[in-house]
């Protein structure tokens, strides 16, 4: 239990020194606040600065600051202004990080003024609820994941059926929750005259018939339009909040690995090519976009340049002119997603409204990502960051790298399998 007098006494001693304070904790009534920075202003006042990892201010930041201000004013501190300090998305790192450019301070005093008066009554409501014997009845809704994922989801969502209306493709969540609470929790419970778009119709037909839906004409048209050799390409990227390499910005996607399967002719055996940015442990973590050995980018040029996605390729060219060798100078022709998949020309009920590779591959081919040490993009990014900037041993480095190579290769080999399976269905 936090002892109010002890906490406040400690913080008050620091207050009297009139120096900036980090995470100064105060208790007022039932509320405890610890702002990131308290900055002394003049002889008696303070500014609150809350530091966030976002690139703009959000409504929930204002609520944070309102609570902090409520507490600090409650113990007698004079608060002049409230700021959110967040990342500046326009910042481009060139050499050492310049903190004054990396961060932007936004004055949200007026927004805090608008809500701070309600904090006391909101706190009373919360204390009353916390004191109840039973948790209040609450319907699941948008609040379960906005602004943050609620940790009680596993409990509150366990009764949600697998094929609920919340899985309907491209549905507005608000509308889906309305259906859910109006007695149409399952997709098959939706009234037949519910207005839905073409893809949603396919999904509903699949659920009602419990069978995969195949549009053979559309599949044939898609498959006949493919020009060999086919290139199946996938990237893995990291997007750190603090740019770790030159000429990158906060949260910029930096590719560190790709996998490429090439099928030269119909029915041909796929050839695999891969690239993995050499991660070095601190302090010399090397930019994975930079040519690792001179011949490699040149050798891959003719295979890769036609396949790189336009936007990412353009980003690379801008960030790293020397990378032109690898990504080519012009637009990326003939590059497109596996259009038959997002268009639902094939759709299996187990896809649950998704056209992602992770959903389609097992539903269509029976193969998938089970038992893989790295089985999704987020884990892949974390793995690369750990072996590049963390304290990973050489053995862990090898293990993570092998898992990353296996995962990325499966992403592109999976696309080869999908095209083969679609071809059998046409």
Q: How many CB atoms lie within 10 A of CB 171?
A: 18
Least distance (Å) between residue 126 CB and ligand SF4? 13
Q: At what angle do helices 394-425 and 377-389 cross, to 10 degrees?
A: 160
Least distance (Å) between residue 76 CB and ligand SF4? 35
Binding residue for ligand SF4 (CB under 6 A) from 85, 115, 150, 223? 150
Q: Which is nearer to ligand SF4, 144 or 300 (CB)?
A: 144
Stretch that binds ligand SF4, among 65-73, 144-152, 270-278, 381-389 (CB under 6 A): 144-152
Q: Which is nearer to ligand SF4, 157 or 228 (CB)?
A: 157
Binding residue for ligand SF4 (CB under 6 A) from 90, 129, 152, 402? 152
Least distance (Å) between residue 149 CB and ligand SF4? 9
Stretch that binds ligand SF4, among 118-126, 150-158, 329-337, 384-392 (CB under 6 A): 150-158
Q: Which is nearer to ligand SF4, 131 or 294 (CB)?
A: 131
The 3-state secondary structure of the chain, one letter per residue = CCCHHHHHHHHHHHHCCCCCEEEEEEEECCEEEEEEEEEEECCCEEEEEEECCCCCCCHHHHHHHHHHHHHHHHCCCEEEEEEEEEECCCCCCCCCCCHHHHEEEEECHHHHHHHHCCHHHHHHHHHHHHCCCCCCCCCCCHHHCCCCCCCCHHHHCCCCCCCEHHHCCCCCHHHHHHHHHCCCCEHHHCCCCCCCCHHHHHHHHHHHHCCCEECHHHHHHHHHCCCCCEEEEEEEEECCCCCCCCCCCCCCCEEEEEEEEEECCCCCCCEEEEEECCCCCCCCCCCCCCCCCCHHHHHHHHHHCCCCCHHHHHHHHHHCHHHHHHHCCCCCCCCCCCCCCCCCCEECHHHCCCCCHHHHHHHHHCCCCCCCCCCCHHHHHHHHHHHHHCCCCHHHHHHHHHHHHHHHHHHHHHHHHHHHHHHHHC
Are 320 and 290 spatial neighbours (Cβ–Cβ below 8 Å)?
yes
Least distance (Å) between residue 177 CB and ligand SF4? 11
Q: Which is nearer to ligand SF4, 141 or 291 (CB)?
A: 141
Binding residue for ligand SF4 (CB under 6 A) from 45, 89, 143, 393? 143
Binding residue for ligand SF4 (CB under 6 A) from 28, 140, 340, 400? 140
Least distance (Å) between residue 173 CB and ligand SF4? 13
Please report, as residue ranges, which positions from 311 to 350 form the binding site for ligand SF4 (by CB under 6 A): none
Binding residue for ligand SF4 (CB under 6 A) from 10, 156, 212, 425? 156
Stretch that binds ligand SF4, among 147-155, 193-201, 216-224, 372-380 (CB under 6 A): 147-155
Please report, as residue ranges, which positions from 217 to 256 form the binding site for ligand SF4 (by CB under 6 A): none
Least distance (Å) between residue 181 CB and ligand SF4? 12
Least distance (Å) between residue 145 CB and ligand SF4? 8
Q: Which is nearer to ligand SF4, 129 or 138 (CB)?
A: 138
Least distance (Å) between residue 132 CB and ligand SF4? 14
Binding-site size, ligand SF4 (CB under 6 A)? 8
Binding residue for ligand SF4 (CB under 6 A) from 53, 89, 153, 197? 153
Binding residue for ligand SF4 (CB under 6 A) from 7, 41, 75, 144? 144
Q: What are phi and psi of 254, to 5 degrees?
A: -115, 115
Least distance (Å) between residue 57 CB and ligand SF4? 23
Question: What is the C-alpha separation between 348 and 425, in angstroms, rounded?
Answer: 13
Q: Which residues bind ligand SF4 (CB under 6 A)?
A: 138, 140, 143-144, 150, 152-153, 156
């Amino acid at each position: 239990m936090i002892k109010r007098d002890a906490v406040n006494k400690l913080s008050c001693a620091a207050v009297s020194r009139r120096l900036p304070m980090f995470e100064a904790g105060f208790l007022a009534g039932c509320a405890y606040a610890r702002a990131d920075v308290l900055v002394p202003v003049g002889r008696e006042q303070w500014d609150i600065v809350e530091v966030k990892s976002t690139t703009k201010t959000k409504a929930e930041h204002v609520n944070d600051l309102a609570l902090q201000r409520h507490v600090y004013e409650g113990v007698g501190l004079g608060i002049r202004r409230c700021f959110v300090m967040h990342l500046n998305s326009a910042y481009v790192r060139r050499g050492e990080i310049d903190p004054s450019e990396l961060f932007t301070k936004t004055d949200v005093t007026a927004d805090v003024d608008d809500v701070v008066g309600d904090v006391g009554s909101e706190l009373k409501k919360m204390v009353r609820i916390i004191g109840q014997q039973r948790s209040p009845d609450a319907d699941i809704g948008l609040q379960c994941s906005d602004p943050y994922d609620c940790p009680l989801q596993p409990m509150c969502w366990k009764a949600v059926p697998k094929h609920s209306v919340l899985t309907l493709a491209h549905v507005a969540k608000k509308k889906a929750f309305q259906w859910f609470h109006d007695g149409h929790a399952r997709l098959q419970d939706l009234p037949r005259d519910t207005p839905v778009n073409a893809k949603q119709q396919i999904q509903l037909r699949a659920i009602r018939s419990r069978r995969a839906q195949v549009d053979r004409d559309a599949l044939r048209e898609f498959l006949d339009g493919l020009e060999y050799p086919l290139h199946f390409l996938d990237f893995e990227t990291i997007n750190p909040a603090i740019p770790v390499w030159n000429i990158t910005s906060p949260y910029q996607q930096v590719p560190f690995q790709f996998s490429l399967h090439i099928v030269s002719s119909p029915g041909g055996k796929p050839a695999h090519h891969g690239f993995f940015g050499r991660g070095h442990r601190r302090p010399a973590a090397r930019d994975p976009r930079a040519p690792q050995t001179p011949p490699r980018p040149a050798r891959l040029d003719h295979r890769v340049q036609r396949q790189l996605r336009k936007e990412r390729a353009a980003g690379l060219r801008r960030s790293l002119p020397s990378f032109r060798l690898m990504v080519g100078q012009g637009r990326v022709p003939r590059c497109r997603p596996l259009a038959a998949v997002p268009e639902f020309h094939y759709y299996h009920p187990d896809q649950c409204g998704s056209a992602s590779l992770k959903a389609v591959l097992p539903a269509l081919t029976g193969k998938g990502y089970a038992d893989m040490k790295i089985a999704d993009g987020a884990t892949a990014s974390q793995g690369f960051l750990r072996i590049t900037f963390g304290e990973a041993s050489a053995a862990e480095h090898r293990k993570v790298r092998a898992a990353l190579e296996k995962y990325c290769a499966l992403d592109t080999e999976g696309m080869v399998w999908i095209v083969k399976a679609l071809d059998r269905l046409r």
